[in-house]
Amino acid sequence: MPLSRIISRWRGFTLIELLVVIAIIAVLIGLLLPAVQKVREAANRMKCSNNLKQLTLAVTGLADQYDGLLPPGLGLYPSNMSAVKNGSGGCLFHMLPFMEQGNAYKLSMTPANPDPDGRNGGLLCYSQWNAQAISVKSYICPADPTAAGHANSITSYAYNGQTFGLAYNCWGQGSKRYPSSISDGTSNTIFFSEKEVDSYGSPNWAPSGGQNYWPDWGPSIASPEAGEQLKGNAAIFQVQPKPGQGDGNRANTGHPGGINAAMGDGSVRFVSQNVSPPTWWAALTPDGNEVLSNDW
């Protein structure tokens, strides 16, 4: 067979054939993309759940060291009176040694300026103001869209202000006891939940400005002592709030469909966005004698 005839049979793709192939590839990508997103979200949710579990195990381990005394949401610990080597800061600050961050906690002691915020009677003090450059990976939720681009010492999580009180010698109801102060049951009471970094600075958050700075009182929800006004049904969490619209008084999350919450017994559950506001509030209160409804 002449070579010219063989070559003539080796023609390229027509434009229509090329467009058909491109269309098929586009359809396949469209079908695969939701599946990839679901897998990514499942991984993010699992990582977030693990972070929250670590928080609860750390705080209960810390309480065990001090005869059941929980760290305060903000204040001095383990004593709310002036004491040598007291700790002054937020709940997540006091938990550092039990988050495998003991060295970071020790670095927040400044002998030359032992009491930088003046709340420990001038005595040696581990203070949140000395923790400016401490970054804790477990304090960041991978689904928090507002966490990128910020300095260290931020968090995507918050303590439940109904469970962790404020504890200074002239301010707050003091630290609570574990588990005696949780009369509703540790498995029925939220200890920690999610709160996006930028929601700290929302107009509704009493000490407005800045980000969710974990050494201080930024990572707080439903606290009757931190100036937060939302309680009861109004304390229901937000799901994927628009940028800049995360409410600092409430738990909020970047996960679709619901929010992760760590309970006092160390368990973590994903709470559906369809849960009723009364049920969520009942889970926030440690001693309200409420019964969690079936939607929990």
Q: What is the pLDDT of residues 206-249, one digit of tens each?
A: 555 557 889 888 889 998 886 666 788 999 999 999 887 888 88
Instruction: Label the pairing between strands 190-194 and 157-160.
Output: antiparallel
Which residue in the block uniquely carries the two structure tokens 């491109």?
A: 22
Tell me whether residue 257 is exposed, middle or buried, using C-beta atoms within 10 angstroms of its C-beta: 0 to 12, 13 to 18, 19 or more.
middle
Q: pLDDT at residue 96 above 90?
A: yes
Is the separation of the CB atoms in 134 and 108 below 8 Å?
yes
- pTM: predicted TM-score of the whole model, two decimal places: 0.87
Average pLDDT over residues 137-161: 90
Place of tokens 């005839």: 5
Parallel, antiparallel or unpaired: strands 268-272 and 258-263: antiparallel
Residue located via tokens 């409430």: 250
The answer to whether the CB of 285 falls within 8 A of the CB of 162 is yes
- Confidence check: pLDDT of 14 > 60: yes
**Which helix (H) or strand (E) element contains residue 15?**
helix 15-65
Say whether pLDDT at 4 is over 80. no
Give the H or E element holding residue 40.
helix 15-65
Q: Which residue has the higher pLDDT, 154 or 3?
A: 154
pLDDT, greater one: 15 or 126: 126
